């Protein structure tokens, strides 16, 4: 008898060509998400810029969002979740199948969590249910001290075990240390988003 996770993989992942799906390709075009391969002792990670991910990739994107800036519609949220699954699978491909790991970097530099906690919750629920042991680090940057102190309210849906893997910081140095990035190259490359998508994205 298959477990719920095995059933999910059979229905949602196996034999699926994510890159042929219009919704996924549209999300990828926003430049708000990417996957960075690891190597050796370096854990791969997913890069997410919520501002770019939810604003739409062109002026023709008129999907209603109840008037809330940066909020993804239900259809778009489903496409974003599918994109996360696709990139997670890509990042884990080269990992040890016995204990694969992947980290996540949520880049808040151009906008805070705001209304997007709902979107993060949807992504988290899929990740927690189907990749429970794969998460290495979950990095939120930049988050000032005031927001950091109230973050537990924003992310009340995250279980205590996963919270221990959270790194909430306003230090680029700490982010680069955790994810094994060269800080000098990141700064010279124009910042995290530009550097990662130009030099390291698996896409």
What pLDDT, on the 0 to 100 scale, is given for residue 202? 62
Residues spanned by the domain of 131: 4-199
In this model, does residue 72 exceed pLDDT 70?
A: no
> Looking up tokens 């708000």, which residue turns up?
32
List the CATH number of the domain containing 192. 3.40.525.10
Contact between residue 169 and residue 144 where contact means Cβ atoms under 8 Å apart: no
Distances from the Cα of 81 to the Cα of 28, 72, 77, 92, 145, angstroms: 12, 11, 6, 16, 29
Listed in sequence order, the DSSP H helices in 13-142 are 22-29, 50-55, 74-92, 117-130
At residue 30 the predicted structure's pLDDT band, cuts being 50, 70 and 90, is confident
pLDDT tens-digit readout, 82-91? 999 999 998 8
What pLDDT, on the 0 to 100 scale, is given for residue 56? 54
| 136 vs 37, higher pLDDT | 136
Percent of the chain at pLDDT exceeding 90: 35
Name every residue whose Cβ is closer than 8 Å to that of residue 158 and which is 6 or more positions away in sequence. Answer: 124, 166
Q: Name the domain count of the chain.
A: 1
Mean pLDDT highest for which of 2-11, 57-66, 110-119, 193-202?
2-11
What pLDDT, on the 0 to 100 scale, is given for residue 175? 96
At residue 53 the predicted structure's pLDDT band, cuts being 50, 70 and 90, is confident
The residue length of the chain stands at 203
Average pLDDT over residues 149-170: 83
């Amino acid at each position: 008898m298959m477990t719920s996770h095995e059933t999910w993989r059979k229905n949602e992942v196996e034999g699926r060509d994510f890159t042929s799906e219009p919704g996924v390709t549209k999300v990828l075009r926003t430049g708000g998400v990417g996957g960075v391969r690891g190597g050796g002792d370096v854990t791969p990670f997913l890069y997410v810029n919520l501002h770019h991910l939810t604003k739409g990739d062109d002026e023709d994107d008129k999907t209603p969002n109840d008037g809330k800036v940066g909020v993804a519609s239900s259809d778009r949220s489903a496409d974003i979740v599918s994109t996360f699954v696709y990139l997670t699978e890509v990042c884990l491909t080269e990992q040890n199948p016995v204990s694969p790991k992947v980290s996540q970097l949520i880049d808040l530099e151009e906008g805070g969590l705001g209304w997007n906690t709902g979107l993060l919750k949807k992504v988290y629920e899929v990740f927690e249910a189907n990749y429970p042991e794969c998460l290495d680090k979950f990095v939120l940057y930049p988050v000032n001290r005031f927001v950091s102190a109230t973050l537990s309210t924003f992310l009340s849906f995250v279980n205590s075990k996963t919270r221990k893997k959270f790194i909430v910081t306003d230090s680029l140095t700490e982010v680069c240390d955790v994810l094994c990035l060269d800080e000098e190259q990141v700064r010279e490359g124009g910042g995290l988003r530009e550097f990662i998508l130009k030099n390291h994205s698996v896409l």
